[in-house]
Chain A
Amino acid sequence: MWLSILGLILGISLGLLTDIQIPPEYANYLSIAVLASLDTLFGGIRAHLQQVYDDKVFVSGFFFNIALAAGLAFLGVHLGVDLYLAAIFAFGVRLFQNIAVIRRIILTKWAEKKELRETQG
């Protein structure tokens, strides 16, 4: 747990401190990568709450989704098709769905807890 928080802080500081300039047309890929990683993260949280979580799926999904999204955007730029829109759409929709599921699970858990307390008290 602490190690992962340390990793997050390290990553953020590394990202803020890097001075590498990339051409603006590649900024698209980065935004898609951000979206993909967020999607995978929330997917992982949802899977954990639904007790179907698996390490390998999560980690492989995390890196593979990032690579796939960036690759798709790259391909789209070179084909002249806005393929990154597809990635943004897919990940955006999934992100919202995942968050909705997480919210519902947490709500039901909370309601169960409350009921349990009332029956006990």
Chain B
Amino acid sequence: MKNPKKSNRRFSKSIIFSLVFLVLGFIMAYSFSLSQAEKNKSGYTGGAFFEQEERFRGQLIEQQERNKDLRAELEEKQAAVQKYEQSFSDGPDRFSDYADEAESLRRYVGALPVEGDGLKVTLQDGEYDGNSENPNDYIVHESHVFQVINELYISGAQAISVNGQRIDGNSYIVCTGPVITVDGVQYPAPFTIEAIGKSDVLESSMKLSGGVMDQLLNDNIIVTLDMGQKISMPAMLSES
């Protein structure tokens, strides 16, 4: 009768103690983690504009570095996918057909660097003309670039780049003062428009009488056509 009572009391005692120690441990650990958090926060004293700017700059650099990393990763992944598809072509014909199709489509949308025969059109500002009052009469405008690109697409160009930058369906070309902006990148004259396709067809369509070339020459622009070259273009991975 006496013994169970005693053990019961001891049990309740240890329960109370464990409760006390629980509270103690909680309070100490919590205040520890709180002071740790405070220490981290106190790194930024705040207020000063300069420090804020510095902080934002740091964040920007961080972001850009991350972008760079991600870009590298993307290129790696694309290479891996390409490799994977090429491994298909060893298998059944169906797969290799699909892989080839994907490959060619990818070339069209600009996800891969391409190479081939084609035409190179260089548009250069006309000579300075003292008689002309308006310099707009002899410099290259973005509309001229449009004309050339349009004509090249009509005559069957498969890929086009402006000053080495790939163009696709979502690209934009804007006149920004003396330069033009292609997908957010500015280029001054002269503009080199490269097109991959049948170079003789492209050239003859440019040279149609009353066609693009004549119009450009009419606007006092120096046009150079270069054919029979190997043209290579980078993949369309512009930072916009």
Contacts and interface: CB of A to CB of B under 8 A. Distances in A.
Interface of A: 1, 3-16, 18, 22, 24, 27, 30-31, 33-34, 37-38, 41, 55, 58-59, 62-63, 66
B18 A4 contact: yes
A66 B30 CA distance: 15
Given A27-B38, A55-B13, A7 B19 contact: yes
B21 A7 contact: yes
B16 A55 contact: yes
Contact of B21 (A5, A34, A38): A5
B87 interface: no
B24 A37 contact: yes
A110 B222 CA distance: 106
Given A3-B14, A10-B25, A18 B30 contact: yes
A15 B30 contact: yes
Contacts of B32: 15-16
Interface residues of chain B: helix, strand, loop or mixed (majority): helix
Nearest to B18: A7
B27 A30 contact: yes
A66 B29 CA distance: 16
28 contacts: A3-B15, A3-B18, A4-B21, A7-B17, A7-B18, A7-B22, A8-B18, A11-B23, A11-B25, A11-B28, A13-B29, A14-B22, A14-B25, A14-B26, A15-B29, A16-B30, A16-B32, A16-B33, A22-B34, A27-B31, A27-B35, A30-B27, A34-B28, A37-B28, A55-B13, A58-B20, A62-B20, A63-B23
A4 B17 contact: yes
B21 A11 contact: yes
Contacts of B17: 3-4, 7
B85 to A, nearest CB: 46
Contacts of A33: 27, 31
A33 to B, nearest CB: 5
A31 to B, nearest CB: 6
Given A18-B30, A31-B31, A8 B25 contact: yes
A11 B26 contact: yes
A31 B20 CA distance: 17
Contacts of B33: 15-16, 18
A59 B19 CA distance: 9
Given A7-B18, A11-B29, A14-B22, 4 more contacts: A7-B17, A22-B34, A63-B23, A66-B23
